[in-house]
Each structure stands twice: as C-alpha cells, then as structure tokens.
Amino acid sequence: MRALQQAITDKAELWRDVVKIGRTHLEDAVPLTVGQEWSGYAPQLEQACERVVDSSAGLLELAMGGTAVGTGLNAPEGFAEQVADEIARATGFSFTTARNKFAAQGGLDAMVGASSGLRALAVPLMKIANDIRWLASGPRCGLGELVLPSNEPGSSIMPGKVNPTQCEAMVMVCIQVLSEDQAIAFAGSQGNFELNAMRPVIINDFLHMTGILADACAKFREYCVEGAELDRERIEEYVDRSLMLVTALSPVIGYDKASAIAHRANDGGTTLRAAALASGYVSGEEFDRIVDPTAMAGPTPA
C-alpha cells in the first residue's frame, strides 16, 4: 500500500502543472490540475494506512491462558505471561497477555476492529480505481484523459480494444473485502456467554482480505499507475470547451449574468468567450484577464 501511495504521489508531482477540468456530480466543474487531483488520492491512502496500523493494536492481546471460560483454571502459574513473551520473541511483535481473559474469549472485538481498518483501505482504493478507469474511458468516445498501459489482449470480439482490467480487478478485490468485513462483524457479534466460537470464519476472511489487498495494491501500482500517461491534447480541449470557467466572472459581473453567459454559450453551441462578448457584460480584454484556467486552479498542496 505504501508503494502504491508513493507511485501516486510521483504522478501527482509529475503532472502538477497540467490544468484540467474538474467534475462534480459527474458534471463539468471549475479547473484544477491533474497534480491536484492525484494529490488527493495519496493522502487518502496515507490516512487509510494509519487506520490499518491503529486498528491492529488490539490484536497484540492474547487470550491464551484463560483456559475454558477465562478463569485460567488448570493453567500453571505464569503460563499466560510466559506464552505471550515467547510469541513476542518469536515474531518481533509486542504481544502481551490479555488484561481480561473473559473479554478476550467471549468477544472478538479486536479482530472486528482490525477488519474495519482493512475496510477503511478498500473504500479509497475503490474510489481511486473507479476514477482512473472513468478518466481512461474511450479512447475516442469517453473521457480519454488518461492512457493506461495495454497489459492484456483486448476483447475476444472487438479487435484492438483495451480494457482497464487492473482497475476492474481492484474494484472486485475491494468488493470482496467489504463483503468479508461484514461477515467478520456479523461473526464478531455471535459470541455466546463465555466464548465466541466464530474464530475460524473470522481468521479465514481476515487473512484472505489482507492477502488480496496486498496483491491488488502491488499489481495496480505496477501494471496501471506507474505506466499511466496523459492525453494532453484531450485535456486541453476540455479546458477550452468548458462552460464552468464562467465561474471566474461571477465576482465581477454577478452570478445571474455569468449564468446567462454559460446558458447562451451552451444553447448556441458557441465558445464561452464568444457568448461573453456577445452579452456585452465584459470586453475581450477583460474576459482574457479574468478567465484564466491556470490561475483558477490555484496552488497544488505540498
């Protein structure tokens, strides 16, 4: 995950000055840079990584030594502590004996919490993968801003077609993780009195989640993110055609007049500049000075 985060950070830096049109509600919005867009992906993964680490802290408390119901009946004195110390030495992790064996055996809350950390990673990964495959849709009848590596042969029936298979694989992995997280939460709620017997399904799903997430992050980085390129001509074309650049005029001529210009351009099939000049609200010199996509994008976060 950290390697994927770094690859995304590298792309954000590489593309920090490429101005593009933003999108909200799936509709055209004001400009930003590709670097700004991708700079938002990296912190999402950084925050998710922190949640994974934080949520796993409870896994270091071991129920071993509680024996049948948590009382420690028949366990030699010091057994629980000795086992925890031995496991800690063998693994390099700071395992300890659980402070309350009744909680550790009757509930599996630490596992449920750790699973939620993986869920917190799957959510932004799915968002990022979906963004990338939408941005790469095309090449001629979609958004087409991104050009993804051609890793696999195309469609079995459509020669030359290239599909965003790595994005689709990541989405499917995230769906699986979200589903298994639900199963773990449900299993965690099924403790009865002094024992939750659902450990097998929980550990099976948890280990599967970690395995497929790690693999998906590695493959997505190697076969998608690192080789992704920009179609700069398409991006520039979208910027030139955008009606939402009119937002820069709002502080100068007011919202209603700016809105009228946008509608006039859209209805008449003209450029925003032509509609603005025809409206008489601004001169060509004023329009060129005010409607500057690069200035509208602002600085990229460090």
Residue 150 identity = S
Q: How far, in Å, CA of 30 to CA of 28, rounded? A: 7
| Whether 279 is catalytic | no
Tokens of 208: 């599967």
Query: 75 burial class (0-12, 13-18, 19+ CB within 10 angstroms)?
Result: middle
Q: Which backbone phi and psi does 125 adopt, to 5 degrees?
A: -60, -40
Within 8 A by CB and 6+ apart from 117, the residues are 51, 52, 53, 54, 55, 56
Q: Which of 150, 155, 189, 283 is catalytic?
A: 155
Residues 31, 34, 38, 39, CA torsion sign: negative
Within 8 A by CB and 6+ apart from 75, the residues are 65, 66, 67
Residue 46 identity = E
Q: Give CA angle at 92 (90, 95), nearest 5°.
A: 85
Tokens of 32: 């930003």
Tokens of 245: 């650049």
Contact at 8 Å (CB) between 244 and 261? no
Tokens of 283: 């001169």
| Whether 263 is catalytic | no
State the catalytic residues. Answer: 25, 155
